Each structure stands twice: as C-alpha cells, then as structure tokens.
Chain A
Amino acid sequence: MLKAKEIVKDFGGLRAINHCSIEVEKGSIVGLIGPNGAGKTTLFNVITSMYKPDAGRVTFKGEDITGLRPDQICQKGITRTFQISRELKIMTLLENIMLGFKDQRGEKIMRGILNPASVKEQERKNLERSLEILEAMKLYELRNEPAAILSGGQRKMLELGQALATAPEMLLLDEPTAGAMAGETAMVVSFIRRMREEQGLTFLIVEHKMEVIMGICDKIIVMNYGEKLMEGSAEEVRQNEQVREAYLGRGA
C-alpha cells in the first residue's frame, strides 16, 4: 500500500536518510525501530511531507504522493501522529476530535455562516461519532474540558482519537506509547489491534518499547544511520547479529 523508494534526505552537511526504501502492505502492522538518530522520525516526516526528500519517491496505493502538502496527504488517507503530541490545548477534547473529520460542510465559509440544516445534521452525526471515539479512548468524562489538562498518556489517546476521526486508511504513529503508563500502553496496543481487525487499518509504527513492537507487528523494519538495516518478523529481528550490535549499550 505504501512504498517509499530510495529516499535521501540531507540537512545541511548531514545525511539523515541514505537511500532508504520501505514497503508497507495493506492491512499489516509494521514496526520501525532503530537507535536514536537512526532517522525514523525523519522518514515519517518525509513520507507525510513535513520535509521534501532530496531524492526518491513515495507512493500510496500506486499514486505518487511525494511533495504533496501535508493536508493533501491526509486527504489521500494517511494520517500521522507526533512524538510529542500536538493536541490543541485551548480547545476542548470534543472540539479536538470534531476537528478531525473530513469533508465537513460547515467548513465552507458561506455554509458556516448560514448554518443550514445540512450542516447541523452533519455536525450532529460527527458529534455522535466523536462521543463514541472519546468513550473508546476512556476520555468521555473530560469531553468538555480544555485539552491542556490531560496527562501525557491521555494526550496520546486524544491524538489517536483525532487521527481516527480523519477516517484514515493508514496510520503512521510516532512513538504512541511514549510517556504512557503501563495501563495506557496496553490500551494503545489493543486499540491498534482492534482497528486493524475491525476497520482494516494499516499501521506503520515507530517505537522504542520492544515488547510493544514484538507483540503486535507483522513485520519489523530496522533502521540505523539513515539506512534500512534489515527487515523481517519479530523472531528474525531478535536473532539478527547486526541489530544486536546497533542496539548495543543503548538498551532494548
């Protein structure tokens, strides 16, 4: 479904990604791991167009999406989350989720002003769905509170909820369990599994927590120094000598 071919990205004199190619099949959960500085988040950023690659192409469902604007990429069906979650603190949780829905008629300026029945109807539907999502994320009680009050793990859940509202076909999650406590980590893991089973979502996940990655991923891609070191199943990765070396001294 998602293919990144021969991506190269330089920052000043530093080559952050060096001819890296990865593929993610539809309906799979793929993990992206590697020591700090390996280029994982940078690769995410290139795929979702935060940066333009200096070389290489990114295709999604056969269509070339390299260099499109970030909002266009989201419209195509890829939504990403951020390492440090970027929820909108001043707005309420409910508003944060409602923001995510695509094709909102009320976002057109004339319809926004006139507020016809069609807009009201869609808002109502989106509201119901938002409440469902918040319920699933265990955030329902806080729905009218500003997002600023959430804890680290809760912010991640909100961000996931927001991503879900965009009705994506594929989710790129950047360290979804960072800062989460044990219970919250389990929630994220079960969420990912459920979404794949119930809605056929495809996932590409950057993670540092080995038990998470090894537990849910069909395939794991290992990066080091901006290159793809290897890819394979959890077992294969665990056994691989080079992977062990790359992580030596950095803890797993």
Chain B
Amino acid sequence: MTSFIIGIITIVAIYCILVLALNIRWGYCGLLDFGVAGFFLIGAYTSAILISAPSESYLFGVRYTVGFGLSWPIGLIAAAVTSGFLAFLIGIPTLRLRGDYLAIVTIGVAEILRYVAINEKWLTRGVQGIRNIARPFESSFPAASLASDIIMLVLTLAILTLFFIIASRLFTSPFGRVLRAIREDEVATSFLGKPVSHFKMLTFILGGIYMGVAGALFAMYVTAIEPYQFIPTYTFLMWGCLIVGGSGNNWGAILGGALIMGLFIQGTRFLPSISGQPQLIPALRYIAVGILLIVVLRLRPRGLLPEKAIKTEETQ
C-alpha cells in the first residue's frame, strides 16, 4: 500500500514538472507549446538509451548493441541537453513568427518523434519499447523494492523543488518582467530595446530542459518505456492541468497537476472497466478533462490560482 501511494506521488510529481515547464513557456512568455509530449519523449528515450543495459538490436541486418549502461546522472543531463537542443532547433524558424505557428510546428514535431520511436527499431526497439531501465542505485536497492521507490520519490521531489525555486525566482526577476511584457505586447517590448526573439528562445529552451529531465525521471520510474506513453493526449492533459490550476502561477501549475493527474486520472483508475470496451473509461476521463478545459476557459479563464501581481518592494 505504501509503495502504491509513493508511486502515485512520484508520477504526479513528474507530471507537475511538465506543467511547470509549460507554465514557463505559456504562463510567463505566452509561447504556445502543443508538443510537450515530444520533449518528454526525447528526454525519456535519451536517458533510457544511455542508461539501460546493452542489448542486441539489428540495423540493416547487422547485429548491433543498444544501451550503454551509464549512470543515472548522465541520463538526466543528457536528457536535458537533447531536449534543450530540440527546443533550440524548433525555435529558430518559429519563434520569430506568430504564436499559432509555434503551436502547429510543436504538434507535428512531437508526433514525428513518436513515429521515429515506433519505426526506428534499431534505436528504440519500436513498439516493444525499452525495458529494464535501471533505477538510481539499483545495485544496492533493486527496482522492485520499497527502498527503490522511496529513492525515486526523493529524487523526483528534489528536482521538482529545485525547478520550482528556479521558476519562481525567474518570475520576479527583471528577466521575468521582460517575459511578461513580451506576453502582453511583443511589439512595444521590442521598441523598448529588448531583443524579443532572444528572450523567447531562452524561455523555450529552459522549458525544454525541464521537460527532458521529467522524461528521464519518467523512464527511470516506470523502468520500461514505449511510444504509446507519449501520445498527444498527454500534451493535452498538461494543458488541462495548467489552465485549470492557473496559468502564470507556479503553485497553480502544481495544483493543476495534482488535481488532474493525481485525483482525477489516478483516482478513477479504480472504476470497474466495462468488459469488451477497455477503451471506454480512459476515454471518458479524457473527455471530461477536455470539457473541463473548455468550461474553465469560458467561465474562469485565469484558472483556480490566478497570476500573482508583482509589488515592487520599496525601501523608504
């Protein structure tokens, strides 16, 4: 039972990192990212490929080994680097255009990455996915044990806290001030001497780093990943969390993540599944989230926890 609860908190925390990242991109800077699942995927697969034990694979009929058995910090860092780099690549043409374009491009890139994961079996083992991903300190604490779950939880919460602190400090800093200005009126901000594209790119990359690390944590938590875990549904759920919780507010991001991913998704896991229609309950859950999103947008667009107004401190 304990292990179960620890597991739920861990996975919810991982998704909260994603929502936090989305808040940095959309909540602070107004960047429309519909490809969260893609950055999540690239982080997960990068770390999985680097961490998992060497195993056989075939490329054009030639035997090949995949998996380098490296340690988990390398997995985390590599995930951050690839995901951040992906953000950079996507950002070059799209950040100087209108926000809608970024939305479309990110959707597409996320899906294409998923296709790559499915089809490039030599790298990703295709639909079967990568298994037996080592958890941190696995030699001392085997994956199935309570100790390992606790380690995972502690690691995830530590990273979540660190990311949260970084995000909060950024929000109140002059950097954050420029982001909020860009979000409201890019043109006016530009005429005040701020290089807008530069700021957008940095924000986008930072979001990418967060998402990549979340992916790496995910891979280690579930110890086996496959492409279906990265369908656009998850991008959409992250948006649901952010909008409901309150975009522009980091606590709102956490709240939204906890409410929707925790209470709603995990909580309704226990409804009996209707025989012959295994898709029904999950689909109904997602429909409910979709409707909730639209309702919130209409009735309380700022979400549960609205953005905090900044009061600049004055010393008399």
Contacts and interface: CB of A to CB of B under 8 A. Distances in A.
B91 to A, nearest CB: 14
A108 B199 CA distance: 9
Interface of B: 166, 169-170, 173-178, 180-181, 184-185, 187-196, 202, 206, 309-312, 314-315
B169 A90 contact: no
A92 B176 CA distance: 14
Given A71-B191, A105-B174, A144-B312, 16 more contacts: A74-B191, A79-B192, A79-B193, A86-B185, A88-B180, A88-B188, A90-B180, A95-B312, A99-B177, A107-B178, A109-B206, A127-B312, A127-B314, A131-B314, A162-B192, A166-B193
B62 to A, nearest CB: 44
A contact face: mostly helix, strand, loop, or mixed? helix
B174 A107 contact: yes
15 contacts: A71-B195, A75-B193, A82-B188, A87-B188, A91-B180, A98-B174, A98-B177, A99-B177, A106-B175, A107-B173, A112-B176, A115-B173, A131-B314, A144-B311, A162-B192
A171 to B, nearest CB: 12
A115 B206 CA distance: 17
B175 A108 contact: yes
B169 A112 contact: yes
Contacts of A48: 191
A82 B169 CA distance: 32
A112 B173 contact: yes
A80 interface: yes
B316 to A, nearest CB: 10
A94 interface: yes
B145 to A, nearest CB: 36
B173 A113 contact: yes
B312 A112 contact: no
Interface in A55-108: 69-72, 74-75, 79-80, 82, 86-92, 94-95, 98-100, 102, 104-108
Contacts of B174: 98, 104-107, 112, 119, 123
A87 B310 CA distance: 16
Nearest to A102: B193
A48 B191 CA distance: 8
A66 B44 CA distance: 47
A86 B187 CA distance: 9
A74 B192 contact: yes
B312 A92 contact: yes
Interface residues of A, number: 44
Contacts of B188: 82, 86-88
Given A91-B184, A112-B169, A113-B166, A80 B175 contact: no
Contacts of B315: 124
Nearest to B192: A100
Interface centre among A71, A104, A105, A123 (most CB of B within 10 A): A71
A123 B310 CA distance: 14
Given A113-B169, A119-B173, A71 B314 contact: no
Nearest to B173: A112
A124 B310 CA distance: 15
B175 A109 contact: yes
Contacts of A100: 192-193
B162 to A, nearest CB: 11
Contacts of B309: 92, 146
Contacts of B187: 50, 70, 86
A100 B190 CA distance: 10
A112 B199 CA distance: 12
Contacts of A109: 170, 175, 202, 206
A131 B313 CA distance: 12
4 pairs of A and B residues whose beta carbons are closest in the complex: A106-B174, A112-B175, A112-B173, A74-B193
Contacts of B202: 109
A82 B188 CA distance: 9
Interface string A21-63: 0000000000000000000000000001010000000000000
Contacts of A102: 193
A80 B166 CA distance: 34
A70 B175 contact: no
A111 B311 CA distance: 20
Contacts of A95: 177, 310, 312
Contacts of A91: 177, 180-181, 184, 310
Nearest to B187: A86
A109 B84 CA distance: 15
Nearest to B188: A86
A100 B189 CA distance: 9
Contact of B169 (A87, A92, A115, A131): A115
B178 A99 contact: yes
A5 to B, nearest CB: 23
A88 B175 contact: no
Contact of B175 (A71, A86, A107, A166): A107
Nearest to A91: B180
A122 to B, nearest CB: 8
A98 B184 CA distance: 16
Contacts of A94: 312
